[in-house]
């Protein structure tokens, strides 16, 4: 299990670096998809099958398709890429550096507790356990989130509706 973890972490870090370092934005998106896959692998190792599947469906399957969609339309490539001003590069380096600092500062005090093998519930990440927690402890936030998604979907249907007198041909 540990070697699998190391392999997944290695690929995750490598592909995450690829996202940042790739010159071609389409390659960046593909590296990001690979990163999501390795994260799903980590979820599987943590016994969270549902989270792993949903991560693939939502992030790798839907959101990244939209990313790729937009980037393909923009047709960015190395020749047409504008040179960014030095100030933007400087600001980006500062922002990224401070984020790293905050992350390191937050992680520094973490004490890994380990787990008790006898009392550990191996079913903890399964769908039914997750459903019980969502509908008992977090029923209101869950319902609010689902209403938000439904409203967004209805809104998109309304936007796409044919207006009076409109013809498409």
Partner 1 sequence: MDFPPLAWQGVVVLVVFGVSLLIATYSTYAERVIAAFLQDRVGPDRAGPFGLLQPLADAVKLFTKEEFFPAGANRALFVFGPCLAMITALMSSAVIPFGNVLQFGDTAIHLQGIEINVGMLYVFGMVSLGVYGIMIGGWASNNKFSLLGAIRAASQNISYEIAMGLALIAVLMMSGSLSLREITFQQASDAPFVWQDIFNWNVMKQPLGFIIFIVCAFAETNRTPFDLPECETELIGGYHTEYSSMKMGLYLFAEYINVFVASAVMSVLYFGGFNFPFQSELRDWLVSSQSLELVTASNIITIVGLLGLFAKIFSFIFFFMWVRWTLPRFRYDQLMRLGWTILIPLAIFNILLTGGLITFGIIK
User: Which residues are at the interface with partner 1 (CB under 8 A)?
Assistant: 24, 26, 30, 33, 49-50, 53-54, 56-57, 60-62, 65-66, 68-69, 72-73, 126-127, 150, 153, 156-157, 160-162, 168-169
Q: Smallest distance from the beta carbon of 30 to partner 1, in angstroms?
A: 7
Neighbours of 43 (CB within 10 A): 18
Q: Residue 95 Cβ, how far from partner 1 at the closest point, in Å?
A: 31
HEC per residue, 73-90: HHCCCCCCCCCCCHHHHH
Helical H runs in 75-138? 86-108, 127-136
Residue 31 Cα distances to 13, 18, 63, 142, 164, angstroms? 10, 6, 14, 31, 45
Q: Which is nearer to partner 1, 16 or 56 (CB)?
A: 56
User: Rounded to the nearest whole angstrom, what is the least distance from the CB of residue 124 to partner 1 in the complex?
Assistant: 13
Q: Which C-beta is closer to partner 1: that of 120 or that of 169? A: 169
Q: Which is nearer to partner 1, 114 or 160 (CB)?
A: 160
Minimum distance from residue 150 beta carbon to partner 1 (Å): 8
Nearer to partner 1, 80 or 116 (CB): 80
Residues 6+ apart with CB under 8 A from 130: 50, 51
How far is the C-alpha of 31 from the C-alpha of 6, rounded, in Å?
A: 18
Name, in order, each residue with C-beta under 8 angstroms of 39's C-beta and a sequence gap of 6 or more. Answer: 12, 55
Residue with smaller CB distance to partner 1, 73 or 85: 73
CB of 92 to partner 1, least distance (A): 27
């Amino acid at each position: 299990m540990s070697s699998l973890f190391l392999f997944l972490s290695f690929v995750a870090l490598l592909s995450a670096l690829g996202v940042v370092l790739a010159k071609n934005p389409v390659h960046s998106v593909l590296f990001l998809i690979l990163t999501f896959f390795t994260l799903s692998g980590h979820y599987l190792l943590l016994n969270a099958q549902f989270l792993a599947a949903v991560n693939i469906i939502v992030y790798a399957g839907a959101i990244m398709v939209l990313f790729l969609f937009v980037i393909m339309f923009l047709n960015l490539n190395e020749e047409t890429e504008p040179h960014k001003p030095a100030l933007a590069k400087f600001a980006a380096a500062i922002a990224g550096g401070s984020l790293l600092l905050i992350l390191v500062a937050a992680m520094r005090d973490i004490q890994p507790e380990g787990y008790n093998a006898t009392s550990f519930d191996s079913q903890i990440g399964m769908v039914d356990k997750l459903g019980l927690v969502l509908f008992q402890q977090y029923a209101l936030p869950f319902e609010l989130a689902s209403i938000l998604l439904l409203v967004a979907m209805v809104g998109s249907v309304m936007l796409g509706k044919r207006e009076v007198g409109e013809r498409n041909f």
